[in-house]
Amino acid sequence: MSDHDQSPLPQRIAPPPGSAMARPDFLWGVATASYQIEGAIDADGRLPSIWDTFSAIPGKTLGGDTGEQACEHHARWADDADLIAHLGVDAYRLSIAWPRVMHADGTPNQEGLDFYRRLLTRLGAHGIQRYVTLYHWDLPQHLEDRGGWLNRDTAYRFAEYAALVARELGGLVEGWMTLNEPWCSAFLGYGNGHHAPGLADPRYATQAMHHLLLGHGLGLQAIREHDPGTPAGIVANVGRGTSDSADPADQEAARLYELQHNDWVLQPLLAGSYPADLWDTLWPGSAPLVLPGDMDLIRQPMDFLGINYYFRSNLRSDGAHGFTDVPLADVERTQMGWEVYPQGLEDLLRRFKAVYPNLPPVYITENGMASDDRVEGGRIDDTQRQSYLKRHFAAVSRAIDAGVDVRGYFVWSLMDNFEWAFGYERRFGLVHVDYTTQVRTLKDSARAFQAFLQQRRATATPAALTT
């Protein structure tokens, strides 16, 4: 560690003393996604995905990087499972690659399913709880060729996929998550084209979102039919929006930002409706086609809600009917250029509890930061990441004290990986990956996290550990 941080190793990352997050029933984990770590895009009879197609287009990803190799997790899964156990976490959040486990005709690809069976079984043997996301953005390309999430039929194909995976892997999973960040899939994939499949039209984004959420509802039914009793939910990314201007138009811009970034997903899930201001103000004429019964499917009660949080945005009015992001000067930022603003996570959790009385138990399913980490003398001093996590842990602890039912926290990410359009330059991992040798090296943040978890276990009473 740097000389300016001489505190005991566990305290460099730990939540505040006496925090509910230090209790043995609070779930601590790390997270990854299939396309970002697996590589082996032609193994197991895996089909092409939209990210294979998108990242192969020149200029779509930084440096022309693709997920073809990634972290070679497909080959190194056993060692990676042991690495997760070595960290001492309670749980691991991973995703299934839809193109790896299902043939184009809808039949199971047993070779691909066996890969996940082996991984989940080894994790279970280590006593690690397994939280599985069904869709973390790698849509089979053959479905995109038929319209992707613009085609209502994709929601039904997703339900068939959910049923297949729940049937085949049920009993090896402690929690199911239908979708990861539908906002990103809809807006970045279909609204501004920054992510696969690279389309850019607000009308596409709103229709894609509706079909994604419809797929969630149908998938939830499929999970409960084929793996009854296992908790299931969804993962939403959320962002804090504020304005440094007191002008009412700028304050309204901040409100519209949070409406679009947060309530576009949460309101249909928890209240059964879309925010009208999206179609009336922000994107006139872009309301999706909603058929009778759709919203009842979407608003089915969930066992939990996953929340991913990373940063705050400073908003101003665009002078028309929307908002524009005006970055603040002299604030701490990560390698992504995102402002470090832990208070935003507390603010959002408290607001969601106030606005949505039926808010289910919450897990922080992603939180972390990218930095330009380098191995020097056999170690990686990532002081900023440790400080970042410690402050966000404290923000969640305050939200729990305020009555928000937060039950777990998954740090993003287990290891450096393919960061979508940013390729391999941006490093989010607790564990450093040398992409030439594939050597994994624990960063100082991983060592501090590990030490905190060891201390937590050591101070827990035997009775508490068995409840």
Q: Where are the beta strands (DSSP E) in 87-149?
A: 91-95, 129-135
- Report phi then psi at 95, rounded to 5: -125, 155
Tell which residue, 407, 414, 395, has the closest CA to residue 363.
407
Is 346 labelled a binding residue?
no
Q: 388: number of CA atoms within 13 Å, CB side?
A: 25
Q: Half-sphere exposure (CA, 13 Å, Cβ side) for 189? A: 27
Q: Please, which contacts does 281-285 make with residues 24 or more away whose CB atoms are closer than 8 Å?
A: 281/256, 281/321, 281/322, 282/256, 282/321, 282/322, 283/202, 283/203, 283/206, 284/321, 285/203
Distance separating alpha carbons of residues 319 and 282, to the nearest angstrom? 12
**28 annotated as a binding-site residue:** no
DSSP state of 136: S
Q: What element of type H or E holds 175? A: strand 175-180
47, two tokens? 């089909």
Distance CA 411, CA 66 (A): 24
Q: What tokens does 273 get?
A: 């409706």
Q: Which one-letter DSSP state was computed for residue 247?
A: -
Please name the residues in contact with 256: beta carbons below 8 A apart, sequence gap of 6 or more. 277, 281, 282, 315, 322, 323
Query: Any known ligand binding at 136?
Result: yes
Specify whether the CB–CB gap between 337 and 387 falls below 8 A. Answer: no
Residue 412: CB atoms within 10 Å: 23
Could you give the CA distance from residue 429 to residue 136 in angstroms, rounded to a whole number? 18
412 marked ligand binding residue: yes
Phi first, then psi: give them for residue 426, nearest 5 degrees. -90, 125
Closest CA to 197 of 53, 311, 64: 53
Q: DSSP assignment, residue 372? A: -
Q: What is the DSSP letter of 15?
A: P
C-alpha 214/C-alpha 217 separation (Å) is 5
Amino acid sitting at position 64: G
The upper half-sphere exposure of residue 307, i.e. CA atoms within 13 Å in the direction of its Cβ, equals 32
What is the three-class DSSP state of 207?
Answer: helix
**Cα(219)–Cα(225) distance, integer angstroms:** 10
Active site residues: 181, 366
310 is in an annotated binding site: yes
Which residue ranges are tagged as binding site for substrate? Answer: 36, 136, 180, 310, 412, 419-420
Which residue ranges are tagged as binding site? Answer: 36, 136, 180, 310, 412, 419-420
